[in-house]
Structures are given as structure tokens and as C-alpha cells.
Amino acid sequence: MTTTVAKQALMTMRSLLTLPVRSDRSFLYRLASTASTAGLLSTPTRAPPSSTTFSGKASPRDSHDPPEYPRGLPQTSKFISSSQPRYPMSQATMDAFDGPSRPRLLSDRVGRRDLPPLKNKVPMYIALATLGLGIWATFILYATNAERLASSVLRSVTFQLRNSAEVADLLGRNVKLEDPWWRIGDPWIPGSVNTMQGRVDLKFRIKGTDGAGTVYFTSIRPSQSEAWRIVRYKLTADSGEVLRLEGTGNTT
């Protein structure tokens, strides 16, 4: 009977599938009812498991040796009885001493000696400080001398000396600043030039074709509103002759 119903359901589903496709729900309901009638959507029933009856005790499982036993060697458990310990314990031996123990051999200590004396570094520090101060003083002297060489007062005085007929009669022609050998080309101008405070004091050497001499020039300004005053302006030749130049005009 079940086979007949299934065949009828299959025939009905084939006839439904041959119909044109419809989008309404009635077609789906008819298809689902036909499948449920034929038993296609029902889950199959399983047969109950059959019971097993044991007639005796279960056989024991095979025992294996622990992994600490090396492979290929006979089992030691077969030859050792249960009354003996598994691992034999070493017997402690008691030694009797009839005297004190002998001291250990020690190496001889190296004889003490004094540490080497430290070198006194004070002279080195003094030399370095002296060298630094010397370099600093040399730089200061060079900078101040270069400032005096570039001053307008010195340029004006040397211009008057080159064009003075009296100086030419005393020292000859081509009057210029004398270059000392230790300056390596730059003349040395002692003195000071301080126009802000109104004080100029110079001393330098000049030479010509007939001789050389030393020029002294001193000028002051009493106040900011007053003009410069020439206090000293003279030329002293190496021969001892002195030439006064105060009346040559204002050089500042």
C-alpha cells in the first residue's frame, strides 16, 4: 500500500511540475501536502540497538613495561622478588679518625711591596696654564695693535709726516712706518686710541731714505662739545735732533 501511495504522489508531482510556473502560494501548498502524504519529508525510523549478553568476566588488558626500561634488554622485574627493594641502597660507611685533620696545602703569599709613587702633575698644569695665558695675551696684543693701525688718527698723522717738508729734510724722502723684524711685516704701534673718552696717545717709528726716528703724538678732548687739542706732537731722530710739529694743523 505504501508503494502505491508513493507512486501516486510521484505521478502527481510530475503533473504539477509540467504545469507552468506560478508565483502564488497555492501551488507551493499543494506540492508540500503531496510530498508529506507520500512520506518523502518524514524522517526514517531507526531500529532499536540489540542488547549484548556477556557469559563471563572480561579478559585483562595487556600490560606494557614503563618507558625507563631500555629496549632489547630482559625485564628486571622477573628476577627481583617483591620483598627486595626495587633499587638497592648503598650502605653508608663509617670512618673513625684518631687525630685532627691535616691542614690543606696553601701557596706562599707574595711579599708585599709599596705602590709606585704617583707622578706630580702640578708642573704640567702650570705649563698648560702658562701656555694658555700666553696665547690669550698674544691675541689681545695683536687685536689692539691692528685696531690702532686701522684708526683714522694714525692714518692722518702718517699722511702729514709723508707730506711734511721739515720731516723730508730730516729723514729724507719716502717716509713710512718702520717694520720691525719680529713683527714679520706689520709695524708695532704702542699706545692707545680711545676716541669715546677723548684720549689718544701714540708712539711709533718712521724711516726715510736718510734716517729714522720716533714720533710722539698725544691729543685730548676735554668734553664732547669741545674740539681736540694736540698736547704733544714731535719727531725725535736717531741722531738726537728733535722736530716740533704741533703747529702743522689739526690731525684728528
Q: What was the pLDDT predicted at 139?
A: 93
The per-residue pLDDT for 234 is: 92
Query: Measuring CA to CA, which residue among 163, 167, 159, 157 is closest to residue 233?
Result: 157
What is the number of domains present in the chain? 2
Q: How many CB atoms lie within 10 A of CB 161?
A: 25
**pLDDT profile of the chain (252 residues), mean per 10:** 62 61 57 57 64 69 61 56 55 67 70 82 94 95 90 91 89 86 76 89 90 92 87 90 77 53
**Residue 125, in any domain of the structure:** no
**CA nearest to 209, candidates 165, 163, 174, 160:** 174
DSSP-based three-state secondary structure for 140: helix
What is the residue range of 167's domain? Answer: 140-248
Q: Is residue 171 part of a domain?
A: yes
Domain membership of residue 94 (yes or no) is no
CATH number of the domain to which 176 belongs: 3.10.450
Q: Is residue 131 part of a domain?
A: no
The whole-model pTM stands at 0.49
* Residue 180 neighbours by CB under 8 Å, 6+ apart: 187, 188
User: Is 202 within 8 Å of 219 (Cβ atoms)?
Assistant: no
Residue 224: predicted pLDDT: 83
CB neighbours of 33 closer than 8 A, spacing ≥ 6? none
Number of neighbouring beta carbons within 10 Å of residue 109: 6
